[in-house]
Amino acid sequence: MNQQRHLALFDLDNTLLNGDSDFEWAQFLISKGVVDPEIQAAKNAQFYADYKAGTLDIHAFLDFQLAPLARHQRTQLDIWHGEFMRKHIQPIMLDNARALVAQHLALGHLCAVVTATNSFVTGDIAREFRIPHLIATIPGIVQGEFTGKPVGTPSFQKGKITRVDAWLESIGLWQGSFEHRWFYSDSHNDLPLLEWSTHPVAVDADDTLKAHATAQGWPTITLRDSTTPAALFKKIGLA
């Protein structure tokens, strides 16, 4: 298969991961005594409820989530992130997610993670999956240190299409360059990019997305059970 004909995009949290990297980063910072556990828990609960309802104020959320980055030097954050990867992320990287990504790469598809979580948290996770491109919310940096504010369009809801289109243009391509455009996600917040795709796949989907996928005849899969990769690929037409 020609790479120029196939684009494979992957949501990260609760899709390739059996959990949420933003939440896990917050838990890690709590374990380090970097953030107040009660404030963090209350804020996270409210933001998560808004996210599930489709009413999340992404800018308010990012102001909250990026603030700890601005309070510490990048060198310290990088050291912490290595520990975070070992203790919080590697244990929730799903074997079938690794197999799915590997299959797309083996077929020569152009692959990218597309996530609302910021690029500092997710960059090493994408690399661990061997996914060469990352489209994530960008935290601002001044003189090598984080500002605590996002830069540009957050990679969230319709913003994911904006960011994907801009990325493709930056490498001399556009959506019409691909006969097949895959996107894997668990969340109804990703319906804009799922509908932009020619091969939308609901992965361990929330109730709203599951109902929509069923109505549209989209494949619905889980990466969290003992299904063999071969059976998984056959179900989504990737064999």
In the block, tokens 């828990």 appear at: 41
Let me know if 11 is a catalytic residue. Answer: yes
Distance of CA 41 to the CA centre of its chain: 22
Q: Which residues contact 174 (CB under 8 A, 6 or more apart)?
A: 165, 168
* Residue 142 in tokens: 């001044």
Count CB neighbours of 122 within 10 A: 25
Q: Could you say which DSSP state residue 224 is in?
A: S
13 part of the active site: yes
Q: Which of 13, 20, 22, 186 is catalytic?
A: 13
**Residues 175, 142: Cα–Cα separation, whole Å:** 33
Q: Assess contact for 173 and 153: CB atoms under 8 A.
A: no
- Determine the Cα–Cα distance for residues 59 and 32; give it in Å rounded to an integer: 26
DSSP codes joined into one string, 143-185: TTEEEEEEESS-SSTHHHHHHHHHHHHHTT--GGG-SEEEEEE
Of 11, 20, 22, 190, which residue is the catalytic one?
A: 11
Which residues are identified as catalytic?
11, 13
